[in-house]
Chain A
Amino acid sequence: MIAQNVAFGILAAAIIAAAIGVVRSNNVVHAALYLVVVLAGGAAQFILLGAEFVAWVQVLVYIGAVIVLFLFGIMLTRAPMRSEDDLDNDQRWPGLVAALFLAGILSSLLLDQWKWGATEIELTEPTRTTEITSAIFRTYIIPFEVVGVLLLASLVGAVLLARKD
């Protein structure tokens, strides 16, 4: 188990650092790249947790498509691709306070509910894809369909919104 903890620890550190990089970077493109790191780290965590399918989907969809979308967005909105002075608005300190406050509350809640050391994840084997798909196509078929419709809607919506005429 120790190897998993270590792996977790390294990944967690990377994720946190990259996340901070997203929100603190002065360069928009750097922020997007830091986001890639966060998402990648997240995928790695999924593998640690035995959710291989989810991990790969994350890599594919998130990193593959969403980030590209972001980069397109950056390009289309003519965001300066160089570093600029300040990409923050005037709410920095109140925002920090709010985030810390929220963090404190969340952590306290979580720790209160699940005592440290009392919850052990025991994995026997990675989850098999068929289980997920069975779950989706049986138990969660309706959400699946709804999500499909939602995708359609968002697709149409995005096209409509972004049309130039």
Chain B
Amino acid sequence: MLLNQFLLLGAVLFCIGVYGVLVRRNSVLVLMSIELMLAAVNINLVAFSAYHDNVAGQAFALFVLTIAAAEVGVGLAIVLLIYRNLRSADLDDVDVLKG
């Protein structure tokens, strides 16, 4: 196995996640896309850990995992609040800061 292929996989997955963040209307779907990005980061970290034979990468992947979970929790709480105030989870409707 080459490192490159994992890295490439991670890059592509990340970009798909970016696409999803930019394009999806529903805020939950945006959060899911963010999960995609984080997953890609995890793959990178673990691949490097295996390549360098260093356990730090895996440790950090665990940390990322944890943080992702925390972030999803808070994020969904915010989405809930938005939903309560705007009656809709559509991100296009959240434009109060429109200049």
Main secondary structure of the interface of A (DSSP, over half): helix
Interface of B is mostly: helix
**Once the chains bind, are B5 and A79 in contact (CB under 8 Å)?**
no
Whether the pair A23, B70 counts as a contact (CB closer than 8 A) is no
B interface bracket (residues with beta carbon within 8 Å of A):
35 or more
In the complex, what's the smallest C-beta–C-beta distance from B83 to chain A, in angstroms?
4
Q: Which residues of B contact A136 (CB under 8 A)?
A: 59, 62
Task: List, in ascending order, chain B residues with CB within 8 A of A49's CB.
Answer: 1, 6, 46-47, 49-50
What number of A residues sit within 8 Å (CB to CB) of B?
A: 89
CA distance A44 to B20 in the complex (A): 23
Query: Which of A42, A121, A144, A155 counts the most B-chain CB atoms under 10 A from its CB?
Result: A121
Assuming A22-B16, A54-B61, what are 19 further A-B pairs, CB within 8 angstroms?
A15-B9, A46-B43, A53-B62, A66-B72, A77-B83, A88-B24, A89-B24, A99-B19, A106-B15, A114-B3, A119-B51, A120-B3, A121-B3, A121-B6, A140-B56, A147-B63, A151-B66, A157-B74, A161-B81
**What residues make up the interface of B, taking CB atoms closer than 8 Å to A?**
1-9, 11-20, 22-29, 31-33, 35-36, 39, 42-43, 46-47, 49-51, 55-56, 58-63, 65-74, 76-81, 83-84, 89, 91-92
